[in-house]
Structure 1
Amino acid sequence: MKNSIKTSLVLASLIGSLYAQDTVTLEPLRIDSTAIKTDELRSTDAVEVYTAEDIQKAHVQNVYEFLNQQTSIVTMPSYGNPFSQLIDLHGYGTSNGNQNVVVTVNGRRLNSIDSLAQLLASISPSSIARIEIIKSSGIVVGGDGANAGVINITTKQNNDKEVAFYGGTYGTADGSFYFGHSDDRFSVSASGETQKSDGTRYIDSSGNKDKNKFSTGTFNLSYALTQKLELRLGASFARTDVIYASYLTKNAYNSDPTQKSASFYPSTHQLFDTDTLSAGADYYIDDAFALHIDASHEKKKSDYVTYASVSYYDSDSVKTSLDYITKKVSLSIGYDGFFGDRKSSSDKTGKNNNAGFVMSEFYLGKATFKAGYRLEDVAYTYKSTSSDLNKHVLLHGGELGYNYALDKKSSVFANYSHSYQAPDIDKFFDYGGTFNSFISPMEANNFTFGYNNITNTNKFKISFYYIDLKNEIYYHKTGAFTGENTNIDKSHKYGADLYDKLVINKHFNVALNYNYVQALIDDEKMGSDDYTNKKLPGVSDHSLKATLCYLPNRNTTLALTQIYRSEAYAANDFNNDFSQKQDAYMNTDLSVTYAKKTWEVFAKINNLFNQKNGLWVQDDAIYPVNFTTTATAGLKLRF
C-alpha cells in the first residue's frame, strides 16, 4: 500500500545524496503525479521533473521564482502583484497563459473559476517533494484548461524535520518549518511559512512603499486502517496582505523605477485569504486493482481595499478513479468534478465541471502506447437583480502517445492531444463589469515529438511541438476603459524545448533550459481591427536559463544562474504596431551554500548586475519587475 510513497522517499534520498558525494550522478526520475506512473525515459510526453533537493538548492522565496529561474515556465508578477503571478508555457502569453495551464497540489486544482492566477505563493517551497511539468498534454486527467500542459506539485510525506530563517534587503524576512513522520501505517506532516517585505517601490509622496506579507500553513495525515485501506485528511490556509504599485511611463521607468506611479490609482491594496479542507482514501482490492477517491472544500475571500471590492468564493471538488495495473497494461477509469461560485454585492456567478475519463498504457517490449479520453460538461450560471442566465457546454479531450526505448539510456516519443479551455467566468464581462455574453470555449490540437538521453553524467531532452487552435480567448481592447472578451478565429503555435544537465567533473555541473516559440494569429477581425498574420503579444521568441554549479568540496556549493528572454510585443499590442516593445528580460543570480548533516547556511544575490526589467502592457504603461539588486542570507536546521 505504501509502495508508491516508499519509492518516492527512496528516490528523493538518492537525489539528495548527489550533493554529498564526490561525484554527481544522474538517473531517470519517476513521474508520480499522473494517472499512470512512469519515468522520464518511458514517458510518451515531454516532461520536466524537479525534486525537493533542486528546490532547496535554488533558495527561492516562492514557487514562482523557482519556476521562472529553473524551468521552461515563464512567470511575471500580475501587474505588479508578486503573490499572484502570470504564468506562460508554450506561447499562450502572459495575459491568458495561466488559464491554459492546470496547476495541482497533491491532485487538487488551484485554477480559479475566474481570471485570478493560481496562488502558488500559498505553497511553501520547503514543503514540496516534487514538481512535475507535463507539456502540451495532460487534458485527460488534468481537465479544463490543460492546453499548454499541467504543473503537478506534490508535498512531502517523510520523516524530515527542519526549520529555516532568512533575512535580506528591503526589509525581507522569512521563517518556515516542516515536521514529518512516516512509517508503514501512519504518516503525518505539518508545514508553515511567514514572509514579509518592506517594499521596493514608492506608492505616495510620503515615502510609503509597496510592502507585503503572507503566511501559510498545511497539515496532512494518512493512516493505513488495514493492509488494503488507507485514509487521508488535510487542511491548509494562506493569508496575503499585499500592496503593489501601478505602471510607469517609459521616461519614469528609465529614470527611476522605484518612483510613485502617476496613474489615477498609484497602488492597489489587496487582502486575499484561502482555507481548504481535504479528505481521501485508497483501497487496494488486490495486486492489480485499486480504488482512489479525493475530495476538498475551499473558501476564498478577495478584498481589493483600494476599490472597496470584495468577492467570496466557494468551491468543492471530488476525484475518483479505479486503476488496473499489470506488467503489460495500465488502466485508469475515473470521475472528476469541480463546483465553484463567486459572490459579490451585486451578483453571483458559478462554473461547474463534471467529467469522466479513461487513461490507458500498453507495454510491448521496448514500446509504450498511451490512449486516453475525457468527456466534460461545463455549466455556467449568472444571477443578478436583473438577470438569471445559464449555459451548458460539452467538451471532448483525448490523448494518444508512443514511446520507444532505443536502449537503456535513450528513447524517442510522440504524442497527440486534443485539449480545450472553457472560459473562466470573467470572460463574460466587459471592462466595467457588465455581463455581455457567453463566449465560445477554446480548442487545441497538440502534436509533440522528442528524444531523451540519460546517462550517469548527462541528462539531455529535446522536443518539438505544433499547436493548432480554434477560438483562442483574448481581450479585445477598444479604448482606455472599453473592450470585451472574445475569440481569435484561428491561430497556431510551434516551438522547441531543450534541456541538458551535464556533469563536467566532480567539481562542476551545468544545467541548461532553452525554449523557442512562435505564436501566430491566422485569422481574426474585430470591427476595424484586423489581426490576421500578426504575432500574439507578450510572447518572447527565445528563452534561456542556465545554472553553473561549482562544488569545491563535499559541503560547499556555489551556483550562478543566468536568465534571458528576448523582446516581445507589449501585452495589448495585437496589431504589432505600438512604438514600445516588451524589453528583453535579463537577470543573474549568485548563491553559495555550506551544508552539514544537520544544518546549512546560505547567501544569495538576486539580479547581481542590477539589470532593469519590466512588464510592458502598452506604450507608457510599464510595471517594473526585478529591477534592482537584492540579497538574502539564512540558516536551515534539520532534526
Structure 2
Amino acid sequence: MRTTKTLVNRSICCALLSACVFVPNTMAAQSEPEIDKPLDIFVVIGRRLNHELDIASNITTIDHQNIIASGAKDLADLLRGQAGIQVSDSNSGPRFSIRGFTGSQAANNTLVLVDGRRLNRIDISAPDLNAIALNQIERIEVLSGSAGVLYGDQAVGGVINIITKSPQSTQGNLQLLAGSWNHKRANANVSGKITDAWSYYLSGQYDKSDNYREHNANKTGNGLARIEYKDDAQRFFVEASHSDDNRLYAGALTKLEYKENPRQASPKPHLANDYGHTITTVLRSGWRQQLDKIWQTDIELNYTNSGKTGLSFGNPFPISREQTGLYSKFIADFPVKAGKINWIIGSDITVGRANFPVRNRKNTQTMSGVYTQAIVPLNKQLSYTVGGRYASVKDELTDGQIYKNGTDLNADATAVELAFNYQLNQSNRLYLRGETNFRFAKVDEQAYTSPNVHGLKPQTGKSYEAGWNYSGSDHSLKINLYRLDLTDEIVFDPSAQPPRRGGFNGANVNADASRRNGAGINWNWQLFSNVTLGAEYNYIDAKFTEGKNTGKHLSWVAKNNARISSQIDVSDNIQFYLSANFIGKRYLEGDNGNLGKKLPSYTLVNSAINYTLNDWRFTLSGDNLLNKTYVSSGFYSKFGSGFYIGNGRNVNLSVNYQF
C-alpha cells in the first residue's frame, strides 16, 4: 500500500510540475474565454473539452446521425449492436461488458454515465437504461479500457457516457412507434428560448410491450425537464427526471424447455408471479464558470431516489436506494509554444443508502476521491498524460442474519496513469498507455461473505494498451492491443462457504487473479459518396492465472466477436442500413472450471430503412431478421443449468415529426 501511495503522490506531483513548468510561456498565446467549442471538439467521456485524437485512449463515438441510421428502438438495442460490447440479458434488462467480464460482473466493471452522472447503483443491480429515452440522446461516447484516474471506482473495463440533448433553439420532436409483440411507444421533446441566456428542455416517453417471451411484458414511462442559463463565461442548469418501469419476469428455462419452446415462461410454480416495479427520481444541478483566461470550474450536485417492489422466486424483495453526489473540478488550459497544457484537478464524494427490508439489512456507503491529470505537449506531435487518484470508502452495514449488531468496513485504493500520444501527421497517430484501476465491493456484496471473511478487499488491476488510428479521405482505421490483469477480483462463488444463517449456497469472494489479453480493429470505408462500409473485430483471451482454475477461460466471455455494416443513401430521401453481429462460443456464466460445453456462436442480422419528407421521417426496422434462437444469458450448475433466451425476429415502424 505504501508503495502504491508513493506512486500516486509522485504522479500528482508530476502533473502539478508539468503544468507549472510552462506557465511563464502562456502570456503570449492567451485567448478569450471560450466554453462552447466547434462541433468537432467535444466532451470526451464527459470530463473535459478535447478532440478525440488528443486523448491516448480507444474511443468510439455514436453520434445522432448514427443513432437515426441504425433504426434502434431503444438504448439497449443501440449498444447491443457494437462489436466491442458483449451483452448479458436475463429478459429483465441488459448488462454491458467491455473487455471481458462475465454477465454478473459486467455492471460492476463497466461504468455507465449520463452527462457524467453515474448510472451504476451502490448495489449489484444493473443500471436502469429504460429510464433514458433514445430521443433524449445527442451522442454516446464509449471508452474501451480503464479510466481509474478520472472516474475511480468501477471504471475497469471501460466507460459508456450518454450525452443528452441540450436546449439550443426553439424546436420539438414527436415520435410514434408500433411493432412486434404488441409493442407501442410515444415520445416527444420540446426546447425553446426563454430569454437570450435562459432556455428550457422537456422530454417524455411512454412504452409498453408484451415482449418475446411469455410473462415478460413491460410498461415504462419517463420524463425530464431542464432549465438552463448560458452565456460566454458561464453555464448553470437545474434538471429533474422521473421514470416508472414495471416488468414481468419470465424466469430461466432448462435446456430441454428452451429447445421445445424458447418463448415460454418458466413452468416452475414458484416463479409464476415474479415481477419488478422500479420508480426512480433524479435531481441535478450544475454550474460552470470561466474564472479567467486559463481557469474554469465545474461543479455538479445530484440526488437519486430509487425504489423497487416485486416478487423474486415467489418471495417479496422490496429495495429502496438513495444516493447523493457532489463532483467538482478545476480545468486549466495553459498555452505554450507546443500547444496547450490541459490540466484537471477534481474531487468526488458520494453518499449512498440502501435498505433491504426482507433481510432487515441497511447499508450506508460513503465514497470520496481526489484526482489530478495533465496532458502535456512536448512538441506539435508528441504529448504525454500523467495523473493519479486516491479514493476511500466506508460501509456502515447492518444485516439481520449476519451483522445483527452492525459493523463498519473501511478501505482505500489508488490509481495512476502514464500515456503517450504521437501525431505522426494529419492522418496517423499512435498512443501507448498504462493505468491502474480498482473497484470497491458493493453494499450487498459486503453483506454476504464466508464466515471467516470480514469485508472484501478492493479489486485492483493493471491495464496496458497501444493503438494506431488512421483517418484518410475515404478510409478510417483503428487498431488496439491491450492487456488487463486483475487481482482480488470481486465475484460470487457458488462453491464458497455461505455465511452463517445464509439463505442460499455460495458467497461473495476475492477471486484468484485473472488476465485478459485482447485486440480490436475497426475499419470504415466511404466506397462511394452515398455508400459507407464498416467492419469491426474484437478478440479477447480471458483466463485465470492463479488458483485451481489456472489456465481456464472466464465464463460468459466470447473469445471472438465481430460486426459488419453498410449504409446506403439511395436518394436524398431514402437511407438504407444493414448490419450483422457475430458472437462467438462461450461457457455458461459460472462455469469457471470449463466443465460444460460451450454455447454455440450465432449471428444477428439487423436492418433499417429511413424515408425523410420535409419535417417527417418514417423508419422501418427489423432485428434478428434470420430469427436466430440464441441464449442471451445463462447460469451453469452441475445439477441443471438455467437459460434465458434472446429476442426472435421483430419488426418496428416509427413515424417522427420535427417541428
Normalised TM-score (structure 2): 0.88
Distance 1:435 1:319 in 2: 37
Over residues 24-49 of structure 1, what are the superposed CA-to-partner deviations in whole Å (9 max), with x where a residue is unaligned? Answer: xxxxx744434333223222111111
Q: Is 2:131 aligned against 1:122?
A: yes
Distance 1:634 1:47 in 2: 30
Q: What secondary structure sits across from 1:553 in the alignment?
A: coil
Cα gap change, 1:120 to 1:4, in 2 (>3 Å): farther
Within-5 A mapping of 1:48-63: 48-63=60-75
Q: CA deviation at 1:293?
A: 0.4
Q: Is 2:650 aligned against 1:630?
A: yes
Q: CA deviation at 1:592?
A: 0.7
**Greater mean deviation of Cα atoms: 597-606 or 620-629:** 620-629
User: What is the match of residue 493 of structure 1?
Assistant: 516
Q: CA deviation at 1:143?
A: 1.6
Over residues 585-626 of structure 1, what are the superposed CA-to-partner deviations in whole Å (9 max), with x where a residue is unaligned? Answer: 321112111113411101011111110011221265343433
Over residues 348-395 of structure 1, what are the superposed CA-to-partner deviations in whole Å (9 max), with x where a residue is unaligned? Answer: 112211101111111221112111111101111102452210111111
**Greater mean deviation of Cα atoms: 308-317 or 543-552:** 543-552
Cα gap change, 1:213 to 1:233, in 2 (>3 Å): same
Q: CA deviation at 1:6?
A: 5.5
Cα gap change, 1:444 to 1:476, in 2 (>3 Å): same
Cα gap change, 1:185 to 1:313, in 2 (>3 Å): same
User: What is the match of residue 413 of structure 2?
Assistant: 395
Within the candidate set 532, 551, 568, 1:533 is matched to: 551
User: What is the match of residue 338 of structure 1?
Assistant: 350
- Give the RMSD, CA atoms, in angstroms: 2.1
Question: What runs of 5+ residues in structure 2 fail to find an aligned partner?
Answer: 1-31, 497-502
Within the candidate set 373, 383, 402, 1:368 is matched to: 383
Within the candidate set 223, 233, 237, 1:232 is matched to: 237
User: What is the match of residue 169 of structure 1?
Assistant: 180
Distance 2:486 2:320 in 1: 33
User: What is the match of residue 443 of structure 1?
Assistant: 460
Q: Is 2:545 aligned against 1:522?
A: yes
Within the candidate set 454, 461, 475, 2:492 is matched to: 475
Q: Which amino acid aligns with 2:390?
A: L
User: What is the match of residue 10 of structure 2?
Assistant: none
Query: Is the contact between residue 491 and residue 510 of structure 2 (CA under 8 Å) also seen in structure 1?
Result: yes
Q: CA deviation at 1:76?
A: 2.5
**Greater mean deviation of Cα atoms: 255-264 or 349-358:** 255-264
Q: CA deviation at 1:313?
A: 0.7
Query: Is the contact between residue 33 and residue 233 of structure 2 (CA under 8 Å) also seen in structure 1?
Result: no
Distance 2:552 2:191 in 1: 52
Q: Which amino acid aligns with 1:41?
A: L
Query: Is the contact between residue 33 and residue 290 of structure 2 (CA under 8 Å) also seen in structure 1?
Result: no
Q: Is 2:562 aligned against 1:544?
A: yes
Query: Is the contact between residue 2 and residue 184 of structure 1 (CA under 8 Å) also seen in structure 2?
Result: no
Query: Is the contact between residue 34 and residue 141 of structure 1 (CA under 8 Å) also seen in structure 2?
Result: no
Query: Is the contact between residue 229 and residue 281 of structure 1 (CA under 8 Å) also seen in structure 2?
Result: yes
Question: What runs of 5+ residues in structure 1 fail to find an aligned partner?
Answer: 12-28, 203-208, 525-529
Q: Which amino acid aligns with 1:102?
A: L
Distance 1:457 1:187 in 2: 39
Q: CA deviation at 1:436?
A: 6.4
Distance 1:436 1:430 in 2: 9
Give the length in aligned residue pairs.
603
Within the candidate set 179, 182, 186, 2:190 is matched to: 179
User: What is the match of residue 250 of structure 1?
Assistant: 255
Q: What secondary structure sits across from 1:489 in the alignment?
A: coil
Query: Is the contact between residue 223 and residue 231 of structure 1 (CA under 8 Å) also seen in structure 2?
Result: yes
Q: Is 2:150 aligned against 1:141?
A: yes
Q: What secondary structure sits across from 1:70 in the alignment?
A: coil
Q: Which amino acid aligns with 1:357?
A: Y
Distance 2:139 2:452 in 1: 41
Q: Which amino acid aligns with 1:119?
A: D
**Greater mean deviation of Cα atoms: 476-485 or 105-114:** 476-485
Over residues 40-87 of structure 1, what are the superposed CA-to-partner deviations in whole Å (9 max), with x where a residue is unaligned? Answer: 32221111111111112222222121111135212232x2203xx211
User: What is the match of residue 275 of structure 2?
Assistant: 269
User: What is the match of residue 201 of structure 2?
Assistant: 189
Within the candidate set 601, 618, 621, 2:641 is matched to: 621
Q: Which amino acid aligns with 2:376?
A: F
Distance 2:83 2:615 in 1: 29
Q: Is 2:48 aligned against 1:39?
A: no
Q: CA deviation at 1:323?
A: 1.2
Q: What secondary structure sits across from 1:57 in the alignment?
A: helix
Q: Is 2:582 aligned against 1:564?
A: yes
Over residues 185-211 of structure 1, what are the superposed CA-to-partner deviations in whole Å (9 max), with x where a residue is unaligned? Answer: 223211121111023223xxxxxx321
Cα gap change, 1:384 to 1:244, in 2 (>3 Å): closer
Q: What secondary structure sits across from 2:513 in the alignment?
A: strand
Within the candidate set 110, 113, 118, 2:119 is matched to: 110
Q: What secondary structure sits across from 2:511 in the alignment?
A: strand
Query: Is the contact between residue 33 and residue 232 of structure 2 (CA under 8 Å) also seen in structure 1?
Result: no
Q: CA deviation at 1:99?
A: 0.5
Distance 1:537 1:447 in 2: 22
Q: What secondary structure sits across from 1:41 in the alignment?
A: helix
Q: What secondary structure sits across from 1:245 in the alignment?
A: coil
Q: Which amino acid aligns with 1:249?
A: T
Query: Is the contact between residue 137 and residue 399 of structure 1 (CA under 8 Å) also seen in structure 2?
Result: no
User: What is the match of residue 373 of structure 2?
Assistant: 359
Q: CA deviation at 1:228?
A: 3.3
Q: CA deviation at 1:434?
A: 10
User: What is the match of residue 14 of structure 1?
Assistant: none
Q: What secondary structure sits across from 1:547 in the alignment?
A: strand
**Greater mean deviation of Cα atoms: 264-273 or 598-607:** 264-273
User: What is the match of residue 206 of structure 1?
Assistant: none
Within the candidate set 308, 318, 325, 1:317 is matched to: 325
Distance 1:218 1:435 in 2: 47
Distance 2:35 2:653 in 1: 36
User: What is the match of residue 427 of structure 2?
Assistant: 409
Q: Which amino acid aligns with 1:145?
A: Q
User: What is the match of residue 3 of structure 2?
Assistant: none
Cα gap change, 1:444 to 1:267, in 2 (>3 Å): farther
Cα gap change, 1:295 to 1:434, in 2 (>3 Å): farther
Query: Is the contact between residue 429 and residue 437 of structure 1 (CA under 8 Å) also seen in structure 2?
Result: no
Query: Is the contact between residue 86 and residue 97 of structure 1 (CA under 8 Å) also seen in structure 2?
Result: yes
Distance 2:34 2:542 in 1: 43
Q: Which amino acid aligns with 1:637?
A: Y
Over residues 558-589 of structure 1, what are the superposed CA-to-partner deviations in whole Å (9 max), with x where a residue is unaligned? Answer: 111111111101101011012x4333232111
Once the two structures are aligned, what percentage of the paired residues are identical? 20
Q: CA deviation at 1:178?
A: 1.9
Distance 2:590 2:399 in 1: 30
Normalised TM-score (structure 1): 0.90
Cα gap change, 1:236 to 1:131, in 2 (>3 Å): same
Query: Is the contact between residue 430 and residue 482 of structure 1 (CA under 8 Å) also seen in structure 2?
Result: no
Q: What secondary structure sits across from 1:504 in the alignment?
A: strand
Q: CA deviation at 1:412?
A: 0.4
User: What is the match of residue 504 of structure 1?
Assistant: 527
Distance 1:251 1:519 in 2: 29
Q: Which amino acid aligns with 2:512?
A: D
Q: Which amino acid aligns with 2:395?
A: Y
Q: What secondary structure sits across from 1:368 in the alignment?
A: strand
Distance 1:435 1:546 in 2: 50
Over residues 502-525 of structure 1, what are the superposed CA-to-partner deviations in whole Å (9 max), with x where a residue is unaligned? Answer: 11102321122211101110112x
Query: Is the contact between residue 64 and residue 75 of structure 1 (CA under 8 Å) also seen in structure 2?
Result: no
Q: CA deviation at 1:96?
A: 0.2
Over residues 1-35 of structure 1, what are the superposed CA-to-partner deviations in whole Å (9 max), with x where a residue is unaligned? Answer: 9954453xx45xxxxxxxxxxxxxxxxx7444343
